[in-house]
Every structure is written in structure tokens, then in C-alpha cells.
Amino acid sequence: MPTRFMLYQRDYCHLCDQALAVMAEARAPDFDSVWVDDDAALEARYGARVPVLRDTTDGRELDWPFDAGAVRAFLGEDLPL
């Protein structure tokens, strides 16, 4: 079963590494990582924006920079730090 959330990122991206740390800090539920480097359509859509967190159920997107509070608000969860 696919996960609800996708994190679009690039290989060797220090901002993406930071986003992963923020996701962990926010105690985000399971999500899939999607690398845009080898996909022309994803590169065109997300290339300059990564990392981007996307909700696959409604299409909402959260662009970098984001912090743990922004992630929790995006997820719609009131999680403690």
C-alpha cells in the first residue's frame, strides 16, 4: 500500500538531508522518498524547489524551507516536540 506522503529530493542534496532531519524531529509518519534527478517530468516540476513534501491524497505541497512545526501543521497533527 503506497504511503500518503512523498518527499521529493535530489541525490547529494544537503537541504534534502536537513529536510529528513526535520521530518524526524516532527515525528512524521512513514513517507516515500522520490528522487527527481533521473525523471525529466519531475525535474521540470521540482528541480529548483526540492525538497518538497507532498500529500498524495489532496495534492498539497510544502516547499523548503520548513521546520518541525510547519511539518506537523501540514500533516494536520498536533504532535508534541
Please tell me the distance from the alpha carbon of residue 37 to that of residue 70, in angstroms, as a whole number.
26
Q: Minimal CA–CA distance to 11: which of 34, 39, 33, 35?
A: 35
Residue 78 has pLDDT above 80, yes or no: no
Between 80 and 51, where is the model more confident? 51
Its pTM stands at 0.90
Domain ranges of the chain: 5-75
Please tell me the distance from the alpha carbon of residue 63 to that of residue 65, in angstroms, as a whole number.
6
**Residue written as grid cell 489532496:** 58
Contact between 52 and 64 under an 8 Å Cβ cutoff? The reply is: yes
pLDDT in tens, 14-62: 999 999 999 999 999 999 999 999 899 999 999 999 999 999 999 999 9
In this structure, CATH architecture of domain 5-75: 3-Layer(aba) Sandwich (3.40)
